[in-house]
Structure 1
Amino acid sequence: MKSLLIALYAATAVAAPTPAMTPVAIDTYMRDALEATGLPGVSVVVTHGGKVVHAAGYGHDSQGRAVTANTPMRVASVSKSFTAIAVMTLVERGKIKLDEPVAAQLPGFRMTDPRAARITVRHLLNQTSGLSDTTVDIRELDSSTSLADYTARLADDGLRADPGTRWEYCNVNYNLAARLVEAASGQGFGDYLREGVFGPLGMKSSAVSDQVVKPADGHNSIFGAWLPRPELPAFLNDSGSGGVITTAADMGKWLIAQSGNGHPLVKRQSLETMHTPTDLRDYGMGWGLDQETGQLTHSGNLFTYTAVEAISPKTGYGIAVMTNSAALHDDTYDIMLGLTAMSEGRTPDRPGGGRHLFELVLGVIALVALGLGTVGVVRARRWAALRTGKPWWRTGLRLVPMIAPAAVLAAYPDLLSFLMNGRTVTWAQLTYFPAPMSITLLVTALAGVLVAAVRICVLRWGGPGRSSSPAGPLRAPVPGRN
């Protein structure tokens, strides 16, 4: 694998840009993408070798200001590649030992699980430490006030697997790595990034704190309407897993450096180490590898922002797409794939439609549930009349489909957590970009519970206006009579 990457890096130096990847062509594609996706705002940068081909912004922020290449946005987990290179700069200086235990290099790091003493720095960056959302208290960690506080709160947590034996995506790995940068450098993580990464690259509008760089307001899509919302409170400032705020213009400088051009932050060997996947997963250090194309990518998803970065050692192109919004469908990745196709001389697919389709289907389901619920309540007496004299358990079975959505709603966060391989999901999170799905489930559950409750009341007590006559509304119908 390493020889493949070296060959691809070598090809970068001689790769020629395809005619299609001109600023005009990219701009045309992006304007079409903005129209097709309906995103409130998006910024993009495309690099080739050591040059920026095109950097621009499209759409508007919540204040009606035009999004430009200099509009700051949160890039979420794209931050991990920045944390990884910060660590590697200290590895090259002998301040951090990549294959030595973290516990021996990070004062204050301890866990109840004795296996944690075997976690190395490489394990953290490769996401193979054994740390998991299922074995640490993510809610407690999200209320941390600093990386030191965050690290201390891990003391009563454990591991899911032996270090080095299982790949699992877990933000704790990169927040520990950020704390390690602080311990090794004697500086705050944000200060070290500013002086050791952002500064040397000329990324003047980048930071890991919204107290330093104010990002554009984020948005959520609620059945097609974009609503501006503050990002969900969590451990974001100085976070190594998702704290970076940057611009398309700055990301251009970053992509050039990650492609092995421009200002070298680390030696070529260190860059290759970051980009080389493990045997457990096609994931290096803050970068995933597409085995078919050789393209390196990493996406980022917060609750009101999405982003993606990609570099292709084969073609020499780098791409970053950032939006001030989050929805059930990630349009940034589709846009990146379209730009990748252009860079390879292929015709890109028109992005968009995924969010519209998902939310349309969910909206229709909610309206149907509301309609069926109304009919169910109106026809409660007729239903109860048909159930009179029937065994109670048969009546109970008839009610199960009505209350099933409520049972799903009660288990909603845990169910999604299971489907996401144990990633922690909270009720607060479900009110952000998953809101259309949450609203649909809530409407369906309430409609079902209301119908079941009304039918039980009518069956048991007859409900308002019940007749005392044997021929009243609860009397079973007589065959042959109108």
Structure 2
Amino acid sequence: MKSLLIGLSAALTFSAAPAGMTPPSIDAFLRQALESTGLPGFSVVVTHNGTIVHAAGYGHDSAGDAVTENTPMRVASVSKSFTAMAVMTLVERGKIALDGPVAAQLPGFRMADPRAAKITVRQLLNQTSGLSDTTVDIAAVESATSLADYTSRLAGSELRADPGTRWEYCNVNYDLAARLVEVASGQRFGDYLRDRVFGPLGMKSSAVSDQVVKPADGHNSIFGAWLPRPELSGFLNDSGSGGVITTAADMGKWLIAQTGDGRPLVKRKSLDVMHTPTKIRDYGMGWGVERDTGLLAHSGNLFTYNAVEAVSPKTGYGFAVMANGAALTDDTYTIMKGLVALTEGRTPETPGGDRQLFELVLGVLALVAAGLGAVGVLRSRRWAARRSGRPWLRLVPPLLPAAVLAAYPDLVSFLMNGRTVTWAQLTYFAAPLSITLVVAALSGVLVTAARIRVLLRAR
């Protein structure tokens, strides 16, 4: 009788779904996505009305084993929605005051900026606290050994804006929120998530420590070839901003909770608070909100992993896509949007292609730069024999790539709206671009050195 009821429930679920939204159609789209994106592997879950419609893995891990719905992966900033949920469970229990100052609830939190005393818990979760990568020593906090240590390292930092007046994406907000969970609950952050979030939902393969759940190795794409690499070291274990390791199967249970189905972790009112954007930005608490469609979504990008989660209040569908690879483009988001299209009866676009094109262009540019460098060195005597212009000024153009390379991290940080980007990070997801720039800079320096040598000998 029980199996009959389950089968009837599934039949009712699929009968209400769009004609193109069936497990075979989802599987066909995802197999096409694996081929078109060239990702080493990814896992996917789709939920609807409290039911897991599809959960599977595609591709392989670094050992050559098939990725499945039970393959653990880091989900990076998707973790923020879990941290927000942990905070809201404590808000409902009266342990945290959502609109109370963080400083009054978190011993050890102080900053050089007196405005920090006015930051509220809500502003941390909404990313409107005034905290910024540009005014915090990110390298110092990411080398912390615990959330308590992390919090203490903010003592010399300042805010970029008055609390509540500016939205700026900053991981510090969510690592402070995780520390607040520890103080309010009396448990380590990872233990609290296990007991109050993962555990109640049955997410048995989820944690915020690679000592508890070992994630699959991540990869970087270098001129089209996926190479397995260990994730860049940093403050990952127990991190509230990006530490969660989970599986597609577990994410299905999480998405069902986010749509208000299944076992509730918080009241519907608290879910609505987390899903509602502020007046400043289309961002709730660990969820971005598309104003035109209402789609709730949040991406996660580390240096060898990409992930995305989404919930459609309009259709009741939930989606999660997690990849064990990171490159200059994020294909998990385009795969998710294709799944959304399927649920709405639209034909999804074929994801992928951009990475291959970008890296092909960069590879060609690197070869051209190396070739021009070799030609420039060989023709340095001919260059010096020219009488037009001042020879010392003509030495400048080949050095322009070296000047760009010197400012490379700062330029990328500027393009990423002030997010701090380091040299080490640029050797991961941006490796093809970094290699091309290094080749161009080195070629220019060698050409310049050869020309200077010829000029000095001619004197």
Q: TM-score per shorter chain, which class?
A: over 0.9
Out of 380, 385, 399, the position equivalent to 2:395 is 399
Instruction: Encode CA deviations 1:192-220: one digit per residue, 9 max, x unaligned.
Output: 00000000000000000000000000000
Out of 408, 412, 415, the position equivalent to 1:416 is 412
Mapping 1:73-472, distance limit 5 Å: 73-387=73-387, 394-462=390-458
Q: Is contact 2:90–2:184 with CA below 8 Å preserved after alignment?
A: yes
Deviation at residue 86 of structure 1 after TM alignment: 0.4
Q: CA-atom RMSD, angstroms?
A: 1.3
- Tell me the distance in 1 between the aligned counterparts of 2:393 and 2:47: 62
Give the residue type in structure 2 aligned to 1:26.
I
- Tell me the distance in 1 between the aligned counterparts of 2:191 and 2:242: 16
- Tell me the distance in 1 between the aligned counterparts of 2:19 and 2:255: 21
Instruction: Encode CA deviations 1:288-320: one digit per residue, 9 max, x unaligned.
Output: 001111100000000000000000000110000
Deviation at residue 15 of structure 1 after TM alignment: 11
Deviation at residue 459 of structure 1 after TM alignment: 1.7
Give the residue type in structure 1 aligned to 2:250.
D
- Tell me the distance in 1 between the aligned counterparts of 2:211 and 2:354: 35
Q: Is contact 2:83–2:174 with CA below 8 Å preserved after alignment?
A: yes
Q: Kindly name which structure, 1 or 2, has the bigger radius of gyration based on alpha carbons.
A: 1
Deviation at residue 452 of structure 1 after TM alignment: 1.0
Deviation at residue 377 of structure 1 after TM alignment: 1.0
Instruction: Encode CA deviations 1:211-239: one digit per residue, 9 max, x unaligned.
Output: 00000000000001111000000000000
- Tell me the distance in 2 between the aligned counterparts of 1:399 and 1:301: 41
Aligned to 2:71: 71
What secondary structure sits across from 1:319 in the alignment? strand
Instruction: Encode CA deviations 1:239-260: one digit per residue, 9 max, x unaligned.
Output: 0000000000000000010011
Instruction: Encode CA deviations 1:171-190: one digit per residue, 9 max, x unaligned.
Output: 00000000000000000000
- Tell me the distance in 2 between the aligned counterparts of 1:65 and 1:458: 57
Instruction: Encode CA deviations 1:18-75: one digit per residue, 9 max, x unaligned.
Output: 1211111111111110011111110000001100000000011001111000000000
After superposition, the Cα gap between the structure-2 partners of 1:32 and 1:150, relative to the gap in structure 1 and judged at 3 Å, is same
Give the residue type in structure 2 aligned to 1:225.
A
Give the residue type in structure 1 aligned to 2:278.
T
- Tell me the distance in 2 between the aligned counterparts of 1:32 and 1:417: 34
- Tell me the distance in 2 between the aligned counterparts of 1:268 and 1:352: 37
Q: Is contact 1:417–1:423 with CA below 8 Å preserved after alignment?
A: yes
- Tell me the distance in 2 between the aligned counterparts of 1:228 and 1:34: 17
After superposition, the Cα gap between the structure-2 partners of 1:257 and 1:15, relative to the gap in structure 1 and judged at 3 Å, is farther
Deviation at residue 79 of structure 1 after TM alignment: 0.1
Q: Is contact 1:208–1:245 with CA below 8 Å preserved after alignment?
A: yes
Deviation at residue 14 of structure 1 after TM alignment: 13
Q: Is contact 2:77–2:301 with CA below 8 Å preserved after alignment?
A: yes
What secondary structure sits across from 1:156 in the alignment? coil
Q: Is 2:23 the counterpart of 1:23?
A: yes
Instruction: Encode CA deviations 1:149-176: one digit per residue, 9 max, x unaligned.
Output: 0001001111000000000000000000
After the TM superposition, which parts of structure 1 deviate over 4 Å for at least 4 consecutive aligned residues?
none
- Tell me the distance in 2 between the aligned counterparts of 1:288 and 1:64: 35
- Tell me the distance in 1 between the aligned counterparts of 2:446 and 2:223: 24
- Tell me the distance in 1 between the aligned counterparts of 2:229 and 2:443: 28
Deviation at residue 397 of structure 1 after TM alignment: 3.1
- Tell me the distance in 2 between the aligned counterparts of 1:362 and 1:210: 34
Question: What is the TM-score with the length of structure 1 in the denominator?
Answer: 0.91
Instruction: Encode CA deviations 1:296-347: one digit per residue, 9 max, x unaligned.
Output: 0000000000000000000110000000110001000110011111011000
Deviation at residue 395 of structure 1 after TM alignment: 2.1
Q: Is contact 1:205–1:250 with CA below 8 Å preserved after alignment?
A: yes
Aligned to 1:33: 33
What secondary structure sits across from 1:155 in the alignment? coil
Deviation at residue 446 of structure 1 after TM alignment: 0.4
Mapping 1:33-72, distance limit 5 Å: 33-72=33-72
Instruction: Encode CA deviations 1:328-382: one digit per residue, 9 max, x unaligned.
Output: 0100011001111101100000011011011011111101111111111111111
What secondary structure sits across from 1:298 in the alignment? strand
Q: Is contact 1:302–1:326 with CA below 8 Å preserved after alignment?
A: yes
Instruction: Encode CA deviations 1:419-458: one digit per residue, 9 max, x unaligned.
Output: 1121111111111110100000000000011111101111
- Tell me the distance in 1 between the aligned counterparts of 2:455 and 2:385: 8
What secondary structure sits across from 2:386 in the alignment? helix
- Tell me the distance in 2 between the aligned counterparts of 1:291 and 1:204: 34
Question: What is the TM-score with the length of structure 2 in the denominator?
Answer: 0.96
Give the residue type in structure 2 aligned to 1:156.
G
Bigger mean CA offset, 13-22 vs 126-135: 13-22
Q: Which runs of 5+ in 2 are unaligned?
A: 1-12
- Tell me the distance in 2 between the aligned counterparts of 1:14 and 1:436: 44
Deviation at residue 396 of structure 1 after TM alignment: 3.0
Q: Which runs of 5+ in 1 are unaligned?
A: 1-12, 463-473, 475-482
Give the residue type in structure 2 aligned to 1:41.
G
- Tell me the distance in 2 between the aligned counterparts of 1:87 and 1:20: 38
- Tell me the distance in 2 between the aligned counterparts of 1:436 and 1:31: 26
What secondary structure sits across from 1:204 in the alignment? coil
- Tell me the distance in 1 between the aligned counterparts of 2:386 and 2:303: 48
What secondary structure sits across from 2:105 in the alignment? coil
Q: Is contact 1:15–1:315 with CA below 8 Å preserved after alignment?
A: no
Give the residue type in structure 2 aligned to 1:321.
V
Bigger mean CA offset, 15-24 vs 261-270: 15-24
Percent identical among aligned pairs is 78
